[in-house]
Structure 1
Amino acid sequence: MRLTVFGATGAVGQEIVRQASAAGHEVTAVVRDPSRLPDGLRDASPHEVLPLSDVAAAVAGRDAVLSGLGARGRKACDVAERLTRQVLGAMEAEGVRRLLVVSAAPVGPEPADDPLLDRAVRRVIGRVLKEVYADLTCMEAALAASATDWTSVRPPKLTNGPLTGTYRTVVGGTPRSGRSIARADVAHAMLALVDEPAAVKQGVGVAY
C-alpha cells in the first residue's frame, strides 16, 4: 500500500514509519522539520519526506493516511484538532478516504465493569491532562463530521517498551483495566486496522 504518515518524528509516528516500511509498504513521512527524522529512518525507509506545509501533495494518491500528530506536553494549544483539520481538508479535496489517528483512552467510554481504582486513577490523570484531552475530543469531533473513513486509536498510558504484537482492542470501547501500552504496539495496531472494516468511523481502545 501507499501510506502517508503525519507526525513521523514523534515516537508513535517513527514506529509507524519503521513497521510499515519493514512490511513492504511505500511510505511518505510528513514532518514539521525534516531534519528531525532520524537519519537511519529517513535513508532506509520512507519513499519520500515532505514538510507539513505540503499537505495536499502528501495525501494525493495514497491508500491510507496515518497520523501521530498531537501535543508534546500538557499544554495542547489545539494542535491535534488544528493539524488534523488540515489533513482532513486535504484528504477530502484529493478524494482520499482512509485515515487513522492516535487519540487517548479517556476520550472514549469507560468500561462499565472497570474497577473503582482504575476509574479514580483515570479521573486524576484527566484533570492533569485536561487540555490535551479537550484537544483530542475536538479532534475526534472533526473526524466524525468529515467525509473520511476514519479510525481513532485510543491508548492509555504510553511506554517505550518493545513491540509485542500482543494487546487487546475494543472497537467502540475501552479494554477493561487497560493501564498502558507501548508506542510500538500502538503503531502495530494502527497498521493492523487499516484494512479492518469494523473499525471504520469508530474509536478503538487498545491496551495490554
Structure 2
Amino acid sequence: MELTVLGATGGIGQEIVRQALDAGHRVTAVVRDPARLTVTGARLEVFRADLTDPESLRPAVAGRHAVLSGLGARARKDAGVAARLTRTVLGAMEAEQVRRLLVVSAAPVGPGPEEDTLLDRTMLRMISALLKDVYADLREMEEELAGSATDWTAVRPPRLQNKPLTGSYRTAVGGFPPRGRFIARADVAHAMLAMIDAPETVKQGVGIAY
C-alpha cells in the first residue's frame, strides 16, 4: 500500500513508519524536521510540510491508500494542536479525495468499560482532571473527524510505554478493554496498521490496551 504518516518523528509515528516499511509498504513520512526521523528505507519518502496549510500537505496525501496520524500534544502546554492540525489534514485529504484516516486519541475520550474496578475508575478521573485540556483537544479532534467525509478511526490507548512490539493486545470497537492500563507505542502502531483494512473500525473510536 501507499501510506502517509503524519507526526512521523513522534514515538508512535516512527513506529508506524518502521513497521509499515518492514511490511513492504511505500511510506511518505511528513515531518517538520527531517533530522529527527531516524528510520530509513528504500520505500521511504520524507516530505517536509507546513501542517497549518492544507495546500502544502496535498502532495503528501494525494493518491495514498491511507493516512495515519500520530499528531497530538506532547505536553499540557501543547493542548489544542491535535484538533488544529487534524483540520489541516482533513482539508488536504478531502481536496485529494483520499478517504481512509487513522489517528491517535486517548482512552479517556471514549466510554469506559462497565467492568472496571473502583480503582480503575478513580485513576481515570484523576488523569482526566490532570490533563483536561489535552483531552478536550482530542474530543474536539474527534468531533472534526465525525463531521468529515473521511473513513476515519480514532485509536484510544491508555498510558503509553516505550517497550518492544508484542503484537498481543486487546481492542474494543466503540469502547475500551476492561482493566486496560498500559500499551506500548509499538503496539499502538501495529494496531493502526492492522485496522487500515478493517471495515468494522471505520467511523469508530477503538480502545486498545494489554
Calculate the TM-score normalised by the size of structure 1.
0.96
1:44 aligns to 2:46 (yes or no): no
1:1-208 residue pairs with structure 2 within 5 A?
1-38=1-38, 41=39, 43-44=40-41, 47-53=44-50, 54-208=56-210
CA contact (8 A) 1:114 1:176 kept: yes
Q: CA deviation at 1:79?
A: 0.2
Q: CA deviation at 1:47?
A: 2.4
Mapped to 1, the partners of 2:171 and 2:67 lie a distance apart of 20
- Which amino acid in the other structure matches residue 47 of structure 1? L
Q: Secondary structure at the residue paired with 2:77? A: coil
Q: CA deviation at 1:45?
A: 5.5
- Which amino acid in the other structure matches residue 9 of structure 2? T
CA contact (8 A) 2:25 2:43 kept: no
- Which amino acid in the other structure matches residue 6 of structure 1? L
Mapped to 2, the partners of 1:52 and 1:45 lie a distance apart of 21
Mapped to 2, the partners of 1:169 and 1:122 lie a distance apart of 18
Number of residue equivalences: 205
| CA RMSD between the two structures | 0.9
- Which amino acid in the other structure matches residue 32 of structure 1? R
Unaligned runs of 5+ in 1: none
- Which amino acid in the other structure matches residue 173 of structure 2? V
Unaligned runs of 5+ in 2: 51-55
Mapped to 2, the partners of 1:46 and 1:71 lie a distance apart of 29
Q: Secondary structure at the residue paired with 2:74? A: coil
Stretches of 4+ aligned residues off by more than 3 angstroms: none
Q: CA deviation at 1:52?
A: 2.7
